[in-house]
Structure 1
Amino acid sequence: MIWDLEAPYTQENLPHPSQHLVIDPVGGTGIFGLQRAKFTYRLEGRGAVVGTKFRPGMFRGFLGRPMHEITDRTVPVQSVFGVDERILKEELRGANDPATMADRVEDILRERLPDPDPRAEEARRLVAEISRAPDLFSVAALAGLAGVTARSVQRLFEDYVGVGPKWVIDRYRMIEAVEALNRNEETSLTALAHALGYFDQAHFSKAFAALTGKPPSSYRRAAE
C-alpha cells in the first residue's frame, strides 16, 4: 500500500481470521497474529507498507506451533523467517517500487514453505464455508458439515486458526452486517439482526458496538 496525502486519514478495518506479515518502516513491523479487535491505522504524509495476508489455517506450518499462542500478539519476523526486521525496513525505504518488496517477501516465504498439511487445508475450507454460508450460525452446524464432533472443530480452529469457530462465525456475520449497512439497504435493524442469527436487536446492537465502537443506527446514518 502506498499513500501521499495532504491531510491525515485514519483507516479502520474489521479483523478476519488470518495472520499477517507486515513491513512498515514507520510503524510496527512483524508477524501479526489474528487480531480480535478492530484495527486502526493512521495514514499521513507519504509512506508505504507491504503486508502479506495468510489464508486461514495456512500460517500454522510456518510458525510450527498452535496459532492461538500468537492471537492478539505480534512476534518478530526473525523468530519465524530468520530475517532481520531492520534490513527489511531499509529495503522497503530504498525500493522505488513496492512491488519489488512484494517479490522479496515472496522469496522469503518460498524459502521456508512448509510441507502440505491436510489439517491446515481443512481449517481453510471450513472458514471459507462460514464466509459463504450466511445461514450458518452454530458450531454444531459447522461440525455437521465437516462430519466430525463440535469438540474436534474447536480443537482444529484453536490450533490452526487461532480462535474458536464461534468467534469466526460471529465475525463473518458481523462483517455481513457492516456491508449491509454500507449499502444502506431498506431493512430494519431488527430484521437484519434476525437474518444474521441474533436473538434480538439488542444483542445485535451490543455485539456491533463492541466491535466497531458505535451502534448500528449511527453507522447507518453515516452511510446515508
Structure 2
Amino acid sequence: MISHAHTISPSLSKYVAAMIYNKDYYPECEMDKYLPDGTINIIFELTGTDKFIFDNNTRKKKQGYSDVWFSGVLKDYITISAASEEMIVVVFKPGSGFPLIHKSVNLYTNKVVQANEIFGTSILELHTQLKAPTSPQEKFNAIEKWLLPQFKEDDFYTNIIHFAIDTIQNSSSKISIANLAKKTGFSQKQFIQLFKKYVGITPKQFHRIIRFNEILAALENKEKISWTAISADCGYFDQAHFIKDFQSFSGLNPKKYLNDVGDYPNYVPVK
C-alpha cells in the first residue's frame, strides 16, 4: 500500500486534524469496523469504485456511496468497505463541523451522505480535479485551496467550544457537565444544545468516546496488557463499566479486539 500524510497548513490547522492519501490497499477482508473517534470526515474516492456501509449484524449492504462523501460524527461503530484503491480522507477536529458546513452538525450524526448534498457542485469539481494524474502533494494542495473559503471565522468555536473540548479531553475521570456549562456562561441545557450544534453529540457522549479512544491508544502502545490498569488509567471506576463501554463502541470485548485489530486502532477487520 502507498500512503502519504499531509502536513496541515497553519491557516487550516485549527480545523483539520489530518489529511491522508492511500493507494493500492487490498486487504484480505471485505469489510472493516470503523470505531467512533469524535471526528467528522470527507472522503474522496478517486477510482470510481463504489463503497458500502453494511449492516453490523447481517453484513448485508445497506447503503452505497461514491466519488466523495461526508461522514458525520459517530456514536456507534459502522461496518464499511475495507479496500482503498485510491482515496483521500480529510479528518476534521471535533467542533469544527459548524464553521465548515454552517449548520448544526447534529443533523448528520451517525450518517454518511454524498458530499454534494452539503457543499454543492464545487466539491464535485474538486473531485474531478483530484482524479487527474497528479502527485499526492498536489492533491493535498488542491483540497486545502478548496477548504479555506469553506470555513467561516467563528469566535464561539475558537473560544467556548475549544475550551469545552479541551476540558473534556483532559479529564479522564467523571466530568460534571453542569460545572463545565457554568464556566462557559450558559445554562446546562443551552450548553448541551450548543455542543451538539458544533460537535454533533452531547458532552457526555463525547467524553465516553474520548475515554474509549484513550483505551485504544493504551492497547496499541503496551506490550503487556492489564485490563484493570488500563480501565483505571482511562477513568473507569470498575472493569465491568469499562468492558460495557468497549463493547458498545466496538461490538467486541477487549480481548477479541486485540485479536482482530489490524494496523490502525479505529479500523478492525471483519473476519
Instruction: Give the TM-score normalised by structure 1.
Output: 0.81
Whole-angstrom distance in 1 between the partners of 2:192 and 2:162: 14
Q: For structure 1, which runs of at least 5 residues remain unmatched after alignment?
A: none
Do residues 209 (structure 1) and 247 (structure 2) align?
yes
Counterpart of 2:24 in structure 1: which amino acid?
D
Q: For structure 2, which runs of at least 5 residues remain unmatched after alignment?
A: 1-20, 52-64, 262-271
1:207 Cα offset (Å): 1.3
- 2:35 matched to which residue of 1? 14
CA contact (8 A) 2:126 2:146 kept: no
CA contact (8 A) 2:38 2:210 kept: no
Whole-angstrom distance in 1 between the partners of 2:246 and 2:234: 12
**Aligned partner of 1:176 among 209, 214, 233:** 214
**Aligned partner of 1:120 among 124, 134, 157:** 157
Counterpart of 1:23 in structure 2: which amino acid?
F
1:88 Cα offset (Å): 4.2
More helix by share: 1
1:144 Cα offset (Å): 5.3
Q: CA RMSD in A?
A: 2.9
Do residues 47 (structure 1) and 64 (structure 2) align?
no
Do residues 102 (structure 1) and 123 (structure 2) align?
no
Counterpart of 1:213 in structure 2: which amino acid?
G
- 1:24 matched to which residue of 2? 45
CA contact (8 A) 1:81 1:108 kept: no
Whole-angstrom distance in 2 between the partners of 1:47 and 1:79: 24
CA contact (8 A) 2:42 2:115 kept: yes
Counterpart of 2:149 in structure 1: which amino acid?
E
Structure 1 residues 195, 43: CA separation in 2 closer, same or farther (over 3 Å shift)? closer
Whole-angstrom distance in 1 between the partners of 2:176 and 2:228: 20
Whole-angstrom distance in 1 between the partners of 2:41 and 2:104: 16
More strand by share: 2
Whole-angstrom distance in 1 between the partners of 2:94 and 2:145: 21
Q: Give the percent of matched residue pairs that are identical in Structure 1 and Structure 2.
A: 24
What whole-Å deviation, never above 9, does each CA across 1:119-165 have from its counterpart, x for those lacking one?
A: 22221332133223323534235335545443233122111111000
Instruction: Give the TM-score normalised by structure 2.
Output: 0.68
Deviates more, 1:26-35 or 1:80-89: 80-89
Whole-angstrom distance in 2 between the partners of 1:83 and 1:4: 28
Do residues 4 (structure 1) and 43 (structure 2) align?
no
Structure 1 residues 162, 36: CA separation in 2 closer, same or farther (over 3 Å shift)? same
Secondary structure of residue in 2 paired with 1:21: strand
CA contact (8 A) 1:137 1:170 kept: no
- 1:64 matched to which residue of 2? 102
